[in-house]
Amino acid sequence: MIALASDHGGFALKEKVKAHLLARGFSVEDFGTHSTESCDYPDTGGKAARAVATAQCERGIVICTTGIGISITANKVRGVRCALCTDPVMAEMTRRHNDANMLALGAGITGELTALAIVETWLDTEFEGGRHQRRVDKIMALEQE
């Protein structure tokens, strides 16, 4: 199950990503928003991040106009490693090296075709483990401070 959320600025792209995920056979939990009416990204992004952190959803994708605010929001939830990606190489590397369990996109920054390519790469790339696991463990230990 993929958690999906956006604010009003990311709504249109969220709907495109959602259709793409469903076409690929993924189950999706849509935490909103459900229109272009102004809303606050911490509300929807926080719900999606909590769903990933509690294993209600395996991974999550969050979208706002730049991707910055909603990625900061997601990363405030213990257990989340959300990466803002603007190209498929970043998506590949954040999965391979950081085991990112959430992806953030900026609807005003990244076009639809690039965004869908980022999503594809992020979903299809596995975590390498090894020396990278040690580093991810160190990142996650910072939550205990």
Catalytic status, residue 97: yes
The secondary structure of the chain in percent helix, strand, coil, rounded to multiples of 5, reads 50, 15, 35
| Alpha carbons 39 and 102: distance in angstroms, whole number | 21
Q: Among the options 57, 64, 82, 85, which is catalytic?
A: 64
Q: Does the annotation count 20 as an active-site position?
A: no
Beta carbons of 45 and 14 less than 8 angstroms apart: no
CA distances from 83 to 37, 46, 50, 97 (A): 26, 15, 16, 12
Q: Which of 125, 13, 123 is nearest to 58 (CA)?
A: 123
Catalytic machinery residues: 64, 97
